[in-house]
Amino acid sequence: MHRASTILKTTRLDKELNLDEISKKTKIPTKYLEAIELEDIQNLPDEPYCSLIVKDYADSLGLNGQNILSIFRRDVLTRKKYLSGSKKTISITPQLSFAVVVVSVVIIFSAYLLFEYVKFNSPPHLEVKWPEKNNNPTLEITGTTDLEATVRINGDLVIVDAEGKFSKSVNIGNSETKISVESQARGGQSTTDQRVYK
């Protein structure tokens, strides 16, 4: 199958003409003549100029310009139209911007609700700093937990400050004493830490 670019180039070379001579004769810029012969889609002019140039180029070589143009359209222009159509970018319209904002708000709100749900249904964090037993019959039990949790030490309610810290003095005496620290979240889940002092 003959290609228009090959026919044009072969005919030009048979007539011993260079592109500059064709350019002077037809007033077609040399870069466009080169693009036609190389089927360089990127450097071809837009329609309808491309078709006119191909036809004039073929006519100047004594070829049937309309026939050559038909072949060129089959070979190159259809591909150029396809490539230019596939490179179309998404234009940002007010409707698209609004849709993006709405979707973003829905995603953020859903993530917030999920976070709150997980937080509400998860047991609270509890870290107890157990002191070493000494000769003092009283031990200071301290630790940290979630801000909204309630803490009980051996069943007694303990105040949790604004940083999640708590403390309570517990009398252990000389006998074996079990100390239990429980932190309970608003949803009812709890975390417990225990230690036995002998």
Q: Which 3 state secondary structure label does DSSP give 153?
A: strand
**pLDDT attached to residue 86:** 47
Given this model, what pLDDT does residue 87 score? 47
At 110 the pLDDT is: 92
Q: What percent of the chain has pLDDT over 90?
A: 20
> Which pLDDT belongs to residue 82?
53
Residue 38 clears pLDDT 60, i.e. is over it: yes
**Per the structure block, which two tokens stand in for 70?**
């038909």
DSSP string, 79-145: HHHHHHHHTPPPP--HHHHHHHHHHHHHHHHHHHHHHHHHHHTSPPPEEEEPPPP-SSSEEEEEEEE
When pLDDT is averaged across residues 173-189 and rounded to a whole number, the result is: 85
C-alpha pair distances (Å), 81 with each of 24, 48, 52, 74, 75: 29, 12, 16, 11, 11
The pLDDT, as a whole number, for residue 151 is: 93
State pLDDT tens for residues 80-111.
655 555 444 556 788 888 889 999 999 999 99
Query: What would you measure as the largest C-alpha separation in the chain, in angstroms?
Result: 120
